[in-house]
Amino acid sequence: MAFLCRYCAPEVLRGELLDLKKMYPVDMWAFGLVVFEILYEEEPYYNLKFQQLRQYVGEQEKGPQIPGTIFFSFNQYSVNSLSK
């Protein structure tokens, strides 16, 4: 369960009850973290335990630290995916 919490939005980590209106931003948060992982080849918040994650993301609403370089090549990916 701990690794799934890394993709949780701040509202979810705080334990808030969400109605349908608030579900879309929560899904976008998780999607953004998946894109982050693809671009940087690094799990978001990989070094944080659950309590630290809850404090850092849930209470302080901080996003992941952005590394200095992107390892993912969009050109290479798009060419490879189009050729299949």
Note the pLDDT of residue 82.
44
In the chain, % of residues over pLDDT 70: 77
Query: Mean pLDDT, to the nearest integer, of 22-40?
Result: 89
Note the pLDDT of residue 63.
87
Superfamily of domain 2-82, CATH level 4:
Transferase(Phosphotransferase) domain 1 (1.10.510.10)
Note the pLDDT of residue 70.
64
Mean pLDDT of the chain: 80
Q: Answer whether residue 38 shows pLDDT above 60.
A: yes
Q: Answer whether residue 40 shows pLDDT above 90.
A: no
The Cα 80–Cα 38 span in angstroms is 16
**Which residues 6+ apart lie within 8 Å of 13 measured at CB?**
5, 53, 54, 57, 58
